């Protein structure tokens, strides 16, 4: 008996959804827009976190030494710096190696190459490139090196790298905040539209509701179709939104791969497809059910 009642409720919900076709379509579209922003927040969070992690992984502290500093002294300092807490690796770059890297990096710039050829001495300095176990504690390494007050150290290149990380972090935070505010606004609009859709459905079915009351139908049996209709709106919106994201990510993935240090966004999306869809479906169903409950309690007295 309960299964038969559930079937009738679902059938009534489908009929109501179809009968209010234009309004149902508008409800689904508004919900799709809301879910699109929420999905964008999820994916952009992955995107920014991957870029930030990649940047942090490549960041190191470069300690440059004055020209003509004995190589033996630099090698000894390398061993000393290796003992500093949080240091993962110390790499020595000689003046000759630094010059070779510079030439390789600017091999397509004839002006730079000609300028180097006119110089008698190597203008570049030897350096020790220090990578950290925990990139958030780079400042501790810099402080330890500065405390030694080595007279042969010309400069420590870290402040520029730190500034780049801080700027990227601020951009990530600002993007997430803006997206969250937009998602909240659209969620409110979606709730409002769904609320009015259910209200109109109740008004359209008022004669049927009166008949059900007269024959002694239960409150659940009368309210059920409108609640299920809200769930249909939310579920359909989640399916449509996910279907829209599929070709978009497939198209953008090759272009984003360069910034994601080889990570393919489309492969990530496919491997986390069910989690992504579950987030959208859960969000849309919660918003739809909430709207339906508010409308039912306000306009359907049984």
Q: Return contacts of 205-209, CB within 8 angstroms, 24+ apart.
A: 205/16, 209/300, 209/302
State pTM to two decimals: 0.64
Helix (H) or strand (E) holding 155: strand 153-157
CATH architecture of 67-151: 2-Layer Sandwich (3.30)
Q: Counting every residue, how long is the chain? A: 302
For the ranges 23-32, 53-62, 90-99, the lowest mean pLDDT is seen at 53-62
Q: Return all residues near 131 (Cβ < 8 A) that are at least 6 apart.
A: 60, 87, 88, 89, 90, 91
- Mean pLDDT score across all residues of the chain: 77
Cα-based torsion angle of the residue sequence 21, 22, 24, 28 in order, rounded to the nearest 10 degrees = 130
pLDDT tens, position by position, 197-249: 777 777 766 666 666 666 666 666 667 777 787 788 888 889 999 999 989 98
Q: What percent of the chain has a predicted confidence (pLDDT) above 90?
A: 2
pLDDT at site 260: 64
User: Is the pLDDT assigned to residue 302 strictly greater than 60?
Assistant: no
**For residue 78, which of 65, 91, 62 has the smallest C-alpha distance?**
91
pLDDT at site 1: 44
Q: What percent of the chain has a predicted confidence (pLDDT) above 70?
A: 78
Query: Which whole number is the average pLDDT over 105-128?
Result: 76
For the ranges 26-30, 69-73, 86-90, 102-106, the lowest mean pLDDT is seen at 102-106
Q: What residue spans in the chain does CATH classification 3.30.70.3040 cover?
A: 67-151
User: Is the pLDDT assigned to residue 39 strictly greater than 80?
Assistant: yes
The top-scoring range by mean pLDDT among 4-18, 233-247, 250-264 is 233-247
């Amino acid at each position: 008996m309960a299964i038969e009642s559930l079937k009738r409720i679902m059938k009534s919900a489908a009929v109501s959804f179809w009968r209010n076709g234009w309004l149902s379509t508008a409800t689904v579209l508004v919900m799709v827009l809301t879910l699109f922003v929420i999905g964008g927040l999820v994916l952009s969070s992955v995107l920014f976190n991957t870029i930030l992690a990649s940047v942090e992984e490549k960041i190191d502290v470069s300690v440059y030494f004055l020209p003509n500093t004995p190589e033996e002294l630099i090698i000894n300092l390398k061993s000393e710096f290796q003992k500093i807490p949080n240091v993962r690796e110390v790499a020595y770059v000689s003046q000759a190696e630094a010059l070779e890297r510079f030439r390789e990096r600017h091999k397509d710039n004839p002006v730079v190459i000609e300028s180097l050829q006119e110089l008698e001495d190597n203008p570049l300095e030897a350096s020790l490139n220090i990578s950290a176990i925990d990139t958030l504690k780079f400042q501790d390494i810099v402080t330890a090196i500065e405390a030694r007050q080595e007279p042969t150290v010309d400069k420590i290149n870290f402040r520029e790298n730190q500034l780049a990380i801080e700027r990227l972090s601020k951009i990530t935070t600002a993007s997430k905040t803006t997206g969250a505010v937009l998602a909240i606004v659209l969620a409110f609009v979606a709730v409002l539209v769904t609320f009015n859709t259910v209200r109109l459905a109740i008004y359209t079915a008022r004669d049927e509701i009166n008949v059900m009351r007269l024959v002694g139908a239960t409150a659940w049996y009368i309210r059920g179709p409108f609640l299920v209709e809200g769930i249909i709106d939310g579920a359909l919106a989640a399916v449509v939104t996910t279907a829209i994201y599929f070709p978009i990510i497939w198209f953008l993935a090759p272009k984003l791969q360069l910034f994601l240090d080889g990570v393919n966004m489309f492969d990530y999306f496919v491997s986390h497809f069910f989690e992504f869809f579950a987030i959208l479906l859960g969000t849309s169903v919660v918003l739809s059910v909430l709207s339906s409950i508010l409308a039912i309690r306000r306009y359907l007295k049984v």
